[in-house]
Amino acid sequence: MRSLILSLFMACTSSAFALTLDDLQSGDVMAISFNCYECRMIESETDSSFSHSGVVVIDKDGHTKIGQSLGRLDLFSFADFTKKMTPGTKVSVFRPIEFINLSIQKRSELEKNMLDVFNEKYKNAPFDTKYLWNNFNAQGIELLYCSEFIAKFLDHFLTQKTAPLPISYKKNYDYWVTYFRGVVPDGELGNSPASFSRDSRFEFIGTL
């Protein structure tokens, strides 16, 4: 039901909240539906239209890029970020409320700080196929899935930090048993691409 309500809301407001790339700002979260079977399972479990997410980061040349953890964690063009998008869907954008009324100077400082933190702490981090909130490899490097990366990245800049919640895999448990090879992290703390649409720290600003 929540997914239906969200879909109807997006449909009714898409024209009023239609965005362009020029409207995007550092820290904006991009929630998207990817066109794959696993993605349908994620959307089903989270009762949402979202199976992937990225975050806007302005690069050193002033270009709008999307930071995403998918295979490797890096900055990508919007075209690359959306190339696996489910046909007929749009990207929904959620902005941290703390970032909405920043002065030009504060926004410029935020853009620089975000790029610095991304390059120093997150660039090239490995993807976490186990979807665990705190998962490190043998070298002590944290593995990060898409929405986990965004939450932990933005926590460097937000006053109120992310509170991970138990993640359920019950709706499609048989699928996840196969995916996780028998060890399903049902009930483990984490987040999902849909989490940002339900987080009071973020405001929906439109679609593109």
Q: By C-alpha distance, which of 152, 207, 156, 208 is closest to 10?
A: 207
Q: Are 47 and 187 in contact (CB under 8 A)?
A: no
Residue burial 46-85, b: 16+ Cβ < 10 Å; e: rest? bebbbbbbbbbbbeeeeebbbbbbbeebbbbebeebbeee
Q: Are 133 and 140 in contact (CB under 8 A)?
A: no
- Higher-confidence residue of 13 and 23: namely 23
Total-model pTM: 0.91
What's the pLDDT at 199? 98
Domains in the chain, start-ordered, CATH in brackets?
Answer: 2-207 (3.90.1720.10)
pLDDT band for 8, please (50, 70, 90 cuts): very low
Has residue 119 got a pLDDT over 50?
yes
What's the pLDDT at 91? 98
What's the pLDDT at 5? 45
Has residue 2 got a pLDDT over 60?
no
pLDDT band for 12, please (50, 70, 90 cuts): very low
Per-residue pLDDT tens digits for 23-33: 999 999 999 99
Per-residue pLDDT tens digits for 48-96: 999 999 999 999 999 999 999 998 899 999 999 999 999 999 999 999 9
- How far is Cα 52 from Cα 70, in angstroms, rounded to an integer? 9
What's the pLDDT at 123? 97
Arithmetic mean of pLDDT, 130-149:
97
